[in-house]
Amino acid sequence: MTYAAILDNVLRLEDLFSDPWDASNLLGFAASIEADELGRMSPAGEIALDGFCINAEFVPVAHGGRFVDLGRLIALMRTVFRRDPCLGLGYGASFFASVDVWAAGDAGQQRCIATHLLANRKLACCYHGFAHGNDIDRAAWAASIDGDTAMLNCVKQVIVNISRADESRGARSHSLFPVERAATSPRSVRDLPRCGMRGTPLGGIKFDDCRIDVATRYGASGNGMEPLLKAFQLSRIALPGMFSGIVDTGLRVALRHARHRKLYGRAVTDLPLVRAQLAETFADLIMCDCFCTVAANAALLLPGELSLHAASIGAFVPGVLIGAMNNLASVVGAHSYLREGDMAIFQKLLRDLQPVASGHTSRMNCLMSILWQLPVAARGAWSADVALPTALFTLDGDGGTLSFSALSNTTGWRDSLASQLRRFARDGSDAQVPEIAAWIARLAAEFDALAAHCAQLLPTDLTPDATPKGFALASRYVALLAATACIGVWRAQRHRGDTFLSQPVWLLAALHRIGALLGDPRIPLSEQLYEAIFDELEQRYDDNLSFDLRAHRLAASRSWH
């Protein structure tokens, strides 16, 4: 699906949310803060999203929904996160719960879940336990099977939507079961409330001799881990991509504040340091969007290699987003703590961003998913001269419909995206921009050095008990993959006529930021770079455009400036 088609729904949702600064708007920032202070989701927000039938975005087109690919889903849900992260996570959780069914369920089970979602009902997926955290294959559930009945006895914690889920899944070892709450004995299922993102229905659940029909199991007995890990591939890309909407609004609020506040007799935005910090955050958002966009395209074009791409997104983007928001907090200063007035939304955004780095998207989990694959990739996959589909780096290509069955939990020792740095260095088409050509040559050399080190890793270096050296190599791989995505997007856009994306300044800024992750000194952007990027930032702010790659129109605001 082309982005032009996606944009119609994005703009429709933007207009539904309307002016964020209008105090009378029940979907505005003031209403969001009021609901946050009461520790609940916005009632008006739920009514609006149910009216929009946002759940249809989680249901494949074949089952009557609107889900086509991750790019569309991220764009729509980023709009929700940009306005209220609590609504975003509360609704988005239903997608992550449903992926197991699209990947492993039979036609009847898929129709059942589609019917539930299209009727605006909610789902929850029960993964986490305190004893083993995110070590899913050691999940402590017990389902004693007797004939056609399974008896569940277990406790699960930290589950989004658990208190309002119409259907949720528990697992014993590697099998997945649906639990229809309305069909269970009242005494067999008990909610365990807990605190999480304020207002989000996040809690725990306890099953005591809960009877379920074995015939409802998703897939064959013992086959639960495969669809679960496929679901993680999608959520590791989608969640960070959606959560970047929080930083988009955070940057907008910080810029608004800095424009209005006077310091040393002039606007805060006149201070070079502040301009540099705001420009850096903007560059971080563009950088993260490049990486997420390429990974979302890869879900369509290279689904068999997605496990590496997804883990790399999870290891890279959340940390960049949190660092960017903390950077904004230093610009805003003590106003980042205010819970009343115009700046109250900033403290909520700063707090609500934190879950992006938790759960199965945590950096350590993702690096572990990458680490064990590095030696074989270094000895073969990275040296392959693979010509990638041109649509991998485009912003508006139609790559078709995501196939859940095409996802794989192993890459088959392929890593096509990683091999592109060498191709970029060889083709020489960037010679007209010497700074970019120098960066590409340097990064290709970095990748050669990484391959040499990874090829020497021993089996003992690939386990959770590995020394920091192995994880450092995985971190370097992730940073180089992010740089490859940014370079690929720039190369695809440089002749497309966009007055910003076709220019090298944003790419040079992104590579400068990535260079710090590769060991370069952590110094601010040069004045030439930060001024050029800040000019684009202010222009988008004045035109009320988003701070991502697409720069689309946001909801009209009478008081934004």
Tokens of 148: 């056609």
Within this chain, do residues 340 and 488 fall inside the same structural domain, yes or no? yes
In tens, the pLDDT along 196-254 reads 566 666 667 777 777 777 767 776 666 667 777 888 899 999 999 999 999 999 999 99
Of 122, 147, 166, the residue that ends a domain is 122
Q: Indicate if the pLDDT at residue 141 is higher than 80.
A: no
Where among 65, 94, 122 does a domain terminate?
A: 122
What's residue 498's pLDDT? 87
Q: Are residues 249 and 334 in the same domain?
A: yes
The confidence score (pLDDT) of residue 525 equals: 94
Handedness of CA 473, 475, 478, 479 (dihedral sign): negative
Instruction: Please check whether residue 394 lies inside any domain of the structure.
Output: no
Residue 388 in domain: no
Task: Indicate whether 13 and 91 sit together in one domain.
Answer: yes
Strand pairing report for 123-125 and 167-172: parallel
Residue 294 lies in a domain: yes
Same domain, 68 and 129: no
Considering the domain architecture, whether residues 200 and 263 belong to the same structural domain is answered as no
Do 55 and 73 sit in the same domain of this protein?
Answer: yes
Is residue 548 in some structural domain?
Answer: no
CATH number, domain containing residue 58: 1.10.540.10
Judge whether 427 lies within some domain: yes
From the list 48, 69, 39, the residue with the least C-alpha distance to 57 is 69
161 pLDDT above the threshold of 70: no
Single-letter residue type at 5: A
Q: Tokens for 556, please give them.
A: 């009209």
Q: What is the pLDDT of residue 219?
A: 66
Q: Residue 196: what pLDDT? A: 56
For residue 203, the domain's CATH number is: 2.40.110.10
Question: 415-444: b or e for each residue (b if 16 or more CB lie within 10 Å)?
Answer: bbbbbbbbbbbeeeebeebeebbebbeebb
Q: Which helix (H) or strand (E) holds 301?
A: helix 272-301
DSSP readout, 75-128? HHHHHHHHH-HHHHHHHHHHHHHHHHHHHH--HHHHHHHHHHHHTT--EEE---
- The structure tokens listed for 490 are 């720039």
Q: Does residue 396 sit within a domain?
A: no
The percentage of residues in the chain with a pLDDT greater than 70, rounded to a whole number, is 84
**Domain range spanning residue 377?**
227-381+413-543
Same domain for 294 and 375? Answer: yes
Mean pLDDT of 430-455: 93
* Mean pLDDT to the nearest integer, 35-57: 94
Residue 559: inside a domain, yes or no? Answer: no
Distance set, CA 425 to CA 245, 349, 397, 439, 442 (Å):
33, 40, 25, 9, 9
- The answer, yes or no, to whether residue 138 has pLDDT greater than 60, is no
Q: How many domains does the chain have?
A: 3
In-domain check, residue 240: yes
- Phi, psi dihedral angles at 507 (to 5 degrees): -70, -40
- In this structure, are 474 and 356 located in the same domain? yes
Cross-strand bridge partners of residue 184: none
In this prediction, residues 176-196 reach a mean pLDDT of: 69
Residues 205 and 335 in one domain: no
- For the chain, helix, strand, coil in percent to 5 are 60, 10, 30
Asked if the model's pLDDT at residue 262 lies above 80, the reply is yes
- Kindly state whether residues 110 and 87 are assigned to the same domain: yes
Mean pLDDT score of the chain? 86
202 token code pair: 């996040």
Hey, what are 73's tokens? 């889903």
**In the structure encoding, which two tokens stand for residue 406, read together?**
């095409």
C-alpha atoms less than 13 angstroms from C-alpha of 105 in its C-beta half-sphere: 20
What's this model's pTM, rounded to 2 decimal places? 0.89
Give the burial class of 39: count Cβ atoms within 10 A of its Cβ; 0-12 exposed, 13-18 middle, 19 or more buried. Answer: exposed
pLDDT band at 160 (very low <50, low <70, confident <90, very high): low
Q: What is the mean pLDDT of residues 525-551?
A: 97
Count Cβ atoms within 10 A of the Cβ of residue 267 and give its class: 0-12 exposed, 13-18 middle, 19 or more buried.
middle
Pick the last residue of a domain from 122, 149, 170.
122
Model confidence at 518, in pLDDT bands (50, 70, 90)? very high
CA angle 534, 326, 311 (to 5 degrees): 95
Q: Do both 306 and 376 map to the same domain?
A: yes
d(CA 298, CA 290): 12
Query: Tokens 């021993």 correspond to what residue?
Result: 458
Distance CA(408)–CA(162), nearest Å, equals 28
With b for 16 or more beta-carbon neighbours within 10 A and e for fewer, the 160-177 pattern comes to bbbbbbbbbbbbbebbbb
Write the CA distances from 345 to 1, 311, 329, 557, integer angstroms: 34, 31, 12, 16
Buried-state track 44-60, b at ≥16 Cβ within 10 A, e below 16: bbbebbeebebbbbbbb
Give the lowest-confidence range in 129-133, 238-242, 365-369, 395-399. 129-133
Are 53 and 182 contained in the same domain?
A: no
| Percent share of the chain, pLDDT over 90 | 58
User: Coil, helix or strand for 504?
Assistant: coil
Nearest Cα residue to 494 out of 414, 411, 436, 423: 436
Q: What is the CATH number of the domain that holds 274?
A: 1.20.140.10
Angstrom distance (rounded) from CA 23 to CA 14: 17
